[in-house]
């Protein structure tokens, strides 16, 4: 059986790695199909972390439908389900009789903070200038892809001009459309695999039925849960700079950076604001004789990180090792807060400058502590009851079985 992964670039390939080796072990062929060349020059074909990758240019087309028709996998696994090109993927799979499986790769349901989060995205994405900048890509790539797939799948939605309503909904409310798009009949894939009971509720709002939503757990947690259960953490899981801190008994705090500037400056987080924010925390922790280590988000543009401070280290990898050996963590909305909770780490959620504009979801439910000003005393207490409730509802699967659960759904 041929299993294809679909993503917008190769940088998200880590989301497929936990299941890829297992699929190959049982004899399945795998390939990552992506459209990275829609944004930047790409190799037509390459191997990344053991997975064969093909950009859409490999197929001498800009049409996702044609790419899928030429590759013709038995199953297509995706990480996104709400955008216009996600519609293209879904309806192309329906027409070509390719089984489509959506696997979530980040939290979407933040409870009472959802409305604030949607408002932030709406403010960030709804700038007229930004819309105009995106217009060439929409006219040359996104709309032609959508029309071509509709022509193959359901041409009546072209004739009756419904496609215009769909496209206009994204133009009118781009932030809302990221979370709860209109006309959801075109985004529903054959299966929807989610991490937790909480996320199941969100995908039901998108009109996925109970029958095609399965709570499978987070595949990234399988190795983490195994390491926690069997105490497998070693300093070999750290970058050299942090390994030296641990060996010299130097305490460090880990900031889980969240790429807000790269997401249209959400909450007013520009690259300059981020730099000032990090430097302020590094200087504050110096008074506590605690080093600040910043773990950059995969989406963060490394070219914008030009921060120097004698109490600061910046890293891109080694997430779980960095969390495990830290004294505490710092984050607002990062899904990696769940990793911190599973490892029993205190988490501080800053609440000054641009951070005040972010939804206080994690601190509201008691799993992180609000840090109201950089000079405030550090509250490193842990609310065990709140964390147990969080684990049940927001993590749910706490045994290292997520990959096997996903494989069962793929093979079903």
pLDDT at 298 over 90: no
- The pLDDT tens digits for 320-370 are 999 999 999 999 999 899 999 999 999 999 999 999 999 899 999 999 999
Average pLDDT over residues 13-21: 93
pLDDT at position 222: 94
Least confident window among 112-126, 199-213, 395-409: 112-126
- The pLDDT tens digits for 54-75 are 999 999 999 999 999 999 999 9
pLDDT at 168 over 90: yes
CA distances from 137 to 86, 122, 130, 141 (A): 15, 20, 12, 5
User: Which residues pair with residue 49 across a beta bridge?
Assistant: none
pLDDT at position 85: 97
Report which of residues 262 and 133 the model is more confident about.
262
Q: Please count the other Cβ atoms lying within 10 Å of the Cβ belonging to residue 10.
A: 17
pLDDT at position 34: 98
pLDDT at position 105: 87
Please report which confidence band the pLDDT of residue 97 belongs to, taking 50, 70 and 90 as the band edges: very high
pLDDT at position 111: 74
Task: Please tell me what DSSP assigns to residue 38.
Answer: G
pLDDT at position 207: 95
Average pLDDT over residues 208-219: 94
Q: What angle do CA 80, 358, 270 make, to 5 degrees?
A: 85
Q: Which helix (H) or strand (E) holds 87?
A: helix 84-96
Nearest in space to 254 (alpha carbons), one of 321, 333, 300, 302: 321
pLDDT at 374 over 80: yes
pLDDT at position 109: 79
Please report which confidence band the pLDDT of residue 178 belongs to, taking 50, 70 and 90 as the band edges: confident
Output the six-digit token pair for 296.
């950059």
Please report which confidence band the pLDDT of residue 118 belongs to, taking 50, 70 and 90 as the band edges: confident
Three-state secondary structure call for residue 377: coil
Using a pLDDT cut of 70, give the percent of the chain over it.
Answer: 100
Parallel/antiparallel/unpaired status of strands 29-34 and 51-55: parallel
CA 355/CA 148 separation, integer angstroms: 42
pLDDT at position 385: 98
pLDDT at position 4: 98
Burial class (CB within 10 angstroms; exposed 0-12, middle 13-18, buried 19+) of 287 = exposed
pLDDT at position 117: 72
Residues of the chain with CATH 3.40.50.2000: 221-395
Parallel/antiparallel/unpaired status of strands 51-55 and 45-48: antiparallel
Output the six-digit token pair for 357.
């504009």
The chain-wide mean pLDDT, for the chain, equals 94
CA 40/CA 38 separation, integer angstroms: 6
pLDDT at 177 over 90: no
Q: What is the CATH number of domain 2-217+400-411?
A: 3.40.50
CA distances from 252 to 97, 351, 406 (A): 52, 21, 36
Question: Which CATH number fits the domain 221-395, given the four candidates 3.40.50.1950, 3.40.50.2000, 3.40.50.720, 3.20.20.220?
Answer: 3.40.50.2000
Average pLDDT over residues 364-382: 97
Residue length of the chain: 412
Largest CA distance in the chain: 70
Average pLDDT over residues 253-277: 92
- The pLDDT tens digits for 33-50 are 999 999 999 999 999 999
Output the pTM of the full model.
Answer: 0.85
pLDDT at 11 over 80: yes
Nearest in space to 145 (alpha carbons), one of 186, 85, 187: 85
- The pLDDT tens digits for 136-145 are 999 999 999 9
pLDDT at 122 over 80: no
CA 267/CA 146 separation, integer angstroms: 31
pLDDT at position 32: 98
pLDDT at 80 over 90: yes
Average pLDDT over residues 93-98: 98
The answer to whether the beta carbons of residues 12 and 397 sit under 8 Å apart is no
Q: Please count the other Cβ atoms lying within 10 Å of the Cβ belonging to residue 122.
A: 16
Average pLDDT over residues 388-404: 96
pLDDT at 120 over 80: no
CA distances from 194 to 46, 304, 314, 405 (A): 29, 33, 31, 11
Output the six-digit token pair for 393.
């509802």
The answer to whether the beta carbons of residues 298 and 223 sit under 8 Å apart is no
């Amino acid at each position: 059986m041929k299993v294809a992964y679909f993503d917008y670039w190769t940088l998200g390939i880590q989301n497929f790695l936990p299941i890829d080796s297992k699929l190959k072990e049982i004899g399945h062929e795998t390939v990552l199909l992506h459209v990275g060349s829609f944004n930047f020059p790409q190799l037509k074909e390459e191997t990344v972390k053991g997975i064969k990758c093909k950009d859409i240019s490999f197929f001498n087309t800009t049409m996702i439908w044609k790419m899928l028709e030429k590759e013709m996998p038995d199953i297509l696994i995706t990480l996104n389900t709400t955008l216009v090109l996600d519609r293209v993927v879904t309806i192309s799979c329906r027409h070509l009789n390719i089984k489509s499986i959506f696997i979530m790769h980040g939290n979407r349901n933040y409870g009472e903070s959802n409305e604030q989060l949607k408002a932030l995205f709406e403010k960030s994405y709804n700038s007229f200038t930004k819309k105009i900048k995106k217009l060439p890509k929409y006219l040359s790539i996104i709309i032609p892809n959508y029309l071509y797939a509709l022509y193959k799948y359901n041409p009546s939605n072209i004739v009756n001009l419904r496609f215009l309503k769909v496209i206009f909904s994204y133009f009118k409310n781009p932030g809302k459309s990221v979370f709860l798009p209109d006309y959801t009949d075109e985004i529903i894939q054959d299966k929807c695999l989610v991490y937790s009971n909480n996320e199941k509720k969100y995908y039901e709002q998108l009109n996925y039925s109970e029958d095609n939503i399965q709570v499978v757990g987070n595949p990234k947690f399988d190795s983490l849960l195994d390491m926690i259960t069997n105490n497998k953490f070693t300093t070999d899981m750290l970058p050299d700079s942090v390994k030296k801190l641990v060996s010299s008994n130097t305490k460090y705090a880990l900031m889980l950076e969240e790429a807000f500037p790269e997401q249209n400056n959400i909450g007013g987080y520009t690259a300059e604001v981020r730099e000032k924010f990090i430097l302020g925390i590094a200087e504050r922790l110096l008074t506590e004789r605690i080093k600040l280590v910043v773990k950059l988000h995969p989406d963060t543009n490394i070219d914008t990180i030009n921060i120097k401070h004698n109490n600061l280290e910046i890293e891109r990898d080694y997430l779980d090792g960095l969390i495990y050996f830290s004294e505490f963590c710092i984050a607002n909305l990062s899904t990696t807060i769940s990793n911190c909770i599973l490892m029993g780490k205190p988490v501080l959620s800053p609440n000054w400058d641009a951070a005040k504009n972010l939804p206080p979801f994690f601190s509201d439910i008691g799993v992180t502590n609000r840090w109201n000003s950089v000079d405030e005393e550090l509250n490193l207490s842990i609310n065990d009851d709140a964390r147990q409730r969080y684990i049940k509802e927001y993590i749910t699967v706490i045994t290292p079985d997520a990959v096997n659960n996903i494989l069962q759904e793929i093979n079903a």
